[in-house]
Amino acid sequence: MKFLADPPRFLFFTGKGGVGKTSVACASAIELAERGRRVLLVSTDPASNIGQVFGLTIGNTVTPIGAIAGLSALEIDPEQAADAYRERIIAPVRGLLPERELASIAEGLSGSCTTEVASFDEFTNLLTDDGLLTTYDHIVFDTAPTGHTIRLLQLPGSWTEFLDAGKGDPSCLGPLSGLDKHKAVYAAAVAALADPERTRLVLVARAQASALTEIERTHAELAQIGIRGSYVVINGVLPASAGTEPIAVAVRNRESAALTGIPAAIAALPRDILELKAGNMMGIDALRTLFRTDRDGPGQLHAVVDVPDAPLGQFVDELEQTGHGLILCMGKGGVGKTTIAVALAVALAERGHAVHLTTTDPAAHLVETLHGSLPGLRVSRIDPDEAIRDYREHVMATKGKNLDADGRAALAEDLLSPCTDEVAVFRQFSQAVHESRHEFVVVDTAPTGHTLLLLDATGSYHREIARQMGDGMAFVTPLMRLQDPALTKVLLVTLAETTPVLEAEGLQQDLQRAGIQPWGWVVNNSIAAAHPETPFLQARAASEATQIDIVVARADRVAIVPLLADEPIGVDRLAALTALATVS
């Protein structure tokens, strides 16, 4: 493996959801430990399942992996990290500021953006802790820092002044003065990330155009802030041992085309290709096989998996009964949310309904997936750059109107926060929510973390309106419309794989805490639902059974979409997707 040749102290694994990032990180940690190195494996992913992978309870304390000498693991708990982070920010000013201002700061530090920054804060300590650096030869991170989080920590400006009422409001970072003592730690962490002698960034993808485009974007974004030294791992490529049945040939051809068209910026990077395995990467023995090439594959046929008869078309039958409404497709990146959203929009439009199909995902490809037009179907995109620009101009013209030069400078800097990005997108999202009272609005949402930030903005707006209106006034906010099951239907899209299902479960819990009950789940690209005939694909189908059972137990409604020989691109194929049954 090129990416494990002469590795530096820190290895970060990043990529779209569902590409096998955790499996690659865990297998790498095992490989390094079995070379005689002392290794700490760290997950900063809210949906971390490294404990499941190793069959242990790990949590937020360093836990030795008993079966592998020299290997320990740690899962950073985002909520605990956020609690500690809030206290660290508020403690220095408690007693100095009025309770009302402290409550305002705490409110500003209550969202998912703060949770993400708090997790970053935790692993910056891992990058700079002298004790850890002498204890371990390598620290392997499952889920690298995102570019916008690092940019946030590199914001210029004063680290020594309060952002009080005269200087603008606190951001998700809290008052910058509260962070001043951490400035040196952050600077040292960013320097370590930018030093290829100390840090190697491993971009994990599948042999799919969307996943490759995603790592190209990540590579470019991180390069802009000085983080280089990247390697590419293409995971889960269908091996020759998968056989020659039509679906295997079609998948292999699609993967070959994607790799042939790999974006130029990442084509030049060192690259490794890992074959798809017949079974799940659960347990140490399975992980040891990830970097091996299996020439023969499973040698016997497996029992046919009993997949529920749950066609996507049944969802359309039920969704159209109200004649209008908001349909939100949510889930990890890479699970096919865009395809499902476009397929539902096409089906509703073909039944004569007015449909507005839109997306909050910067990486979405609605037009490419639709690949045509249809009467009654309007397609748009909530452009984050445009929304952010308009919002910043609005705030500076209103809130910043009466501030002095220093105050306007501080407010302008605060508006560079990623939290601002989500609030700006929320304003346009609210318009789509309003439209759903008169027509169908189908929204392809951004990957899970960004969706939660958007919901945080929706909740914050609701609380502010409720505070201003008081008990005697009637009002309706976007959050209240999202909580109305007669108007809003949330679909959780997943794959029949451990990590996507875990993250969808976590998203369902987050939605339920916000008073939103998911309407249904869609299991996409199911090999089991395609009824494979060769031993390799039957083994893969058998590995899906447990995850499908979990989804059926969690969901009010389930649709299962089989893996198709032809990609569902274009109106005709998308229409066929909602007419497809899951059993023959």
- pLDDT tens digits for 288-320? 989 987 665 555 555 566 788 889 999 999 999
Residue 18 appears among annotated catalytic residues? yes
In sign, the C-alpha dihedral spanning 29, 35, 37, 38 is positive
> Residue 582 above 70 pLDDT?
no
> Residue 181 above 50 pLDDT?
yes
Residue 23 appears among annotated catalytic residues? yes
Q: Domain locations in the chain?
A: 2-288, 312-383+441-579
Alpha-carbon separation of residue 542 from 101, 299, 573 (angstroms):
56, 14, 27
pTM confidence score: 0.74
Please write down the HEC assignment for all residues of 176-243. Answer: HHHHHHHHHHHHHHHHHHCCCCCEEEEEEECCCHHHHHHHHHHHHHHHHCCCCCEEEEEEEECCHHHC
CB 358 within 8 A of CB 338: no
Residues 6+ apart with CB under 8 A from 91: none
> Which amino acid would we find at residue 181?
K
Would you state the pLDDT for residue 552? Answer: 93
Q: Which residue has the tokens 């045509």?
A: 372
Would you state the pLDDT for residue 170? Answer: 45
Catalytic residue selected from 14, 22, 143, 420: 22
Residue 277 appears among annotated catalytic residues? no
**Mean pLDDT to the nearest integer, 264-270:** 91
User: Domain 312-383+441-579 classified CATH 3.40.50.300?
Assistant: yes
- pLDDT tens digits for 476-504? 556 677 788 888 999 999 999 877 888 88
Element (H, E) at 147: helix 147-153
- pLDDT tens digits for 183-202? 677 777 778 888 889 989 89
User: In this structure, what are the phi and psi dihedrals at residue 524, rounded to the nearest 5 degrees?
Assistant: -100, 155
Catalytic residue selected from 14, 16, 44, 45: 45
In sign, the C-alpha dihedral spanning 563, 340, 220, 504 is negative
**Mean pLDDT to the nearest integer, 40-45:** 84
Catalytic residue selected from 14, 16, 17, 20: 20
The two beta strands, 71-75 and 63-64, are: antiparallel
> Residue 30 above 80 pLDDT?
yes
Q: How many C-beta neighbours within 10 Å does residue 502 have? A: 21
Length of the chain: 584
Catalytic residue selected from 499, 526, 534, 578: 499
> Residue 165 above 50 pLDDT?
no
Residue 376 appears among annotated catalytic residues? no
Catalytic residue selected from 21, 167, 277, 489: 21
User: In this structure, what are the phi and psi dihedrals at residue 579, rounded to the nearest 5 degrees?
Assistant: -100, 0
Residue 137 appears among annotated catalytic residues? no
> Residue 260 above 80 pLDDT?
yes
Please write down the HEC assignment for all residues of 428-462. Answer: HHHHHHHHCCCCEEEEECCCHHHHHHHHHHHHHHH
Would you state the pLDDT for residue 526? Answer: 92
Q: How many C-beta neighbours within 10 Å does residue 460 have? A: 19
Catalytic residue selected from 14, 16, 23, 112: 23
Catalytic residue selected from 15, 17, 18, 407: 18
Domains 2-288 and 312-383+441-579 share a fold: yes
Binned at pLDDT 50, 70 and 90, residue 351 comes out as very high
Q: Which fold has domain 2-288?
A: Rossmann fold (3.40.50)
